[in-house]
A and B are shown apart, each in its own frame.
Chain A
């Protein structure tokens, strides 16, 4: 029998109300040890998928299983237990601004474990060393650059050695060097922890370099999927437009509007 994937969504739909679905008929799997990317334009529902996986929201229909637990019926207590096995990197890091770098990384350990302070200290320094910021443990978040803050948040995300890491737009607003560093870290940490990861991103170049599999999301649907090589060679119009960054294509440049001429003429 094949091993059950860490994440498996089958025909999942989600909407804040019945009339408008944000996600429709999403099916995807994240196998153990793999790095999977969800790509798509801004506002296409990628982040909503992460929220479903984290149990912040529940699917309207379909089946969502994380570590074998059904996310549609899970109870809050179980959900908190499940979240201990997950780590999440938020778009801008979401570091606690009133805590130092050290205390930020120590936060999940202090809150969620009974480890003595001396062991927490060693663990925090190890996590910070893994992201190259052991020397910055005494700084406050406002003293960090964007890329450093993201790395500290990454260290905090892996503090409890999660089996599933979720990254929400990890590359947004970074310079090329920081971006490459984060990309490499995501890949290395995934393999070192033996974890599985899911990256929500619209950065094509960097993610195609590091991930094992890609899903393309547009207007709440998965419209294409494949390995990075297959995606680069794909002839599908949307994938071509997205991967090569063309302004107009199968996805129109213009937001739906009445005819230009008529609107200008005031009719």
Chain B
């Protein structure tokens, strides 16, 4: 009996703690949005963060995109050739990338490359009292440090996802057309006929935008909320990657269910 009570108590405490933190995170993001003015008035602040979050992620995004596209080319050909529709490999590669893999895999990579860096940087700035020093200089750290990083991530993410998809389609082309010898005209014309600007490219863009908000929100909040110790910052960095991955996959299911209902 004692044991069951303790179990429920612990469960309740965890749920309570999670809801409290979600509340903090929500109030935090509202504060970030309210104090976002300087991020756009002094756009150089945000450009710097686009560089660190976006440009510095280009290598991992392009290389991963290339390999994912090449794998899709191989697998797609292997399956489609059984139904004598090897020509459709182009549309299969493009649709998989634009609808799902581009936004999702790019966001996962973005979370582990840029999200963790944002968390660690803000967490260390807090640990070394840089944020407190800023506050004592009458400069709000949310406006000066957090908001530019947030917008830098939100702006970078859709662009990275687009680059991932483009490089991936090129990888699929390399395998299917150059290596295997699928007809080039069929590859591209099938793709052009199958891909719809609104429902495929547009929805993929919306997904990557939503993932960008989720990942950067988690990253800046975990950094700002990190306990000011080495252990605290490392824990926060891990939490950013774990929660981002869960958020991306969960949101992807919800968005897919809303966007593609077999219409």
Minimum distance in angstroms from B147 CB to a CB of chain A: 14
Of A83, A84, A97, the residue contacting B128 (CB under 8 A) is A97
Minimum distance in angstroms from A20 CB to a CB of chain B: 20
Rounded to whole angstroms, the CA-CA distance of A94 and B129 in the bound complex is 5
B 110-137 to A, binary, CB cutoff 8 A, 1 in contact else 0: 0000000000010011001110111111
Chain A residues with Cβ under 8 A from B129's Cβ?
A: 90-92, 94
Q: Are B138 and A94 in contact (CB under 8 A)?
A: no
Q: Are B132 and A94 in contact (CB under 8 A)?
A: yes
For residue B239, CB closer than 8 A to chain A, the reply is no
Residue of A nearest to B129 (CB): A94
Residues facing B in A16-32 (CB within 8 A) are: none
Chain A residues with Cβ under 8 A from B135's Cβ?
A: 56, 83
| SS of B interface (majority) | helix
For residue B33, CB closer than 8 A to chain A, the reply is no
Chain B residues with Cβ under 8 A from A182's Cβ?
A: none
For residue B180, CB closer than 8 A to chain A, the reply is no
Q: Are B144 and A111 in contact (CB under 8 A)?
A: yes
For residue B18, CB closer than 8 A to chain A, the reply is no
For residue A108, CB closer than 8 A to chain B, the reply is yes
Minimum distance in angstroms from B233 CB to a CB of chain A: 14
Q: What are 23 sample pairs from A and B whose C-beta atoms fall under 8 A apart?
A: A54-B136, A56-B132, A56-B135, A56-B136, A80-B138, A81-B138, A83-B135, A83-B137, A83-B138, A86-B136, A90-B132, A90-B133, A91-B129, A92-B128, A92-B129, A96-B133, A97-B124, A97-B125, A98-B121, A107-B137, A111-B139, A112-B137, A112-B138
- Extra contacts, 15 of them, besides A56-B132, A107-B139 (Cβ < 8 A), are A56-B136, A81-B138, A88-B133, A88-B136, A90-B129, A94-B132, A94-B133, A96-B133, A97-B128, A98-B121, A107-B137, A108-B139, A111-B144, A112-B138, A112-B139
Q: Give A contacts to B, CB under 8 Å.
A: 54, 56, 80-81, 83-84, 86-88, 90-92, 94-98, 107-108, 111-112, 153
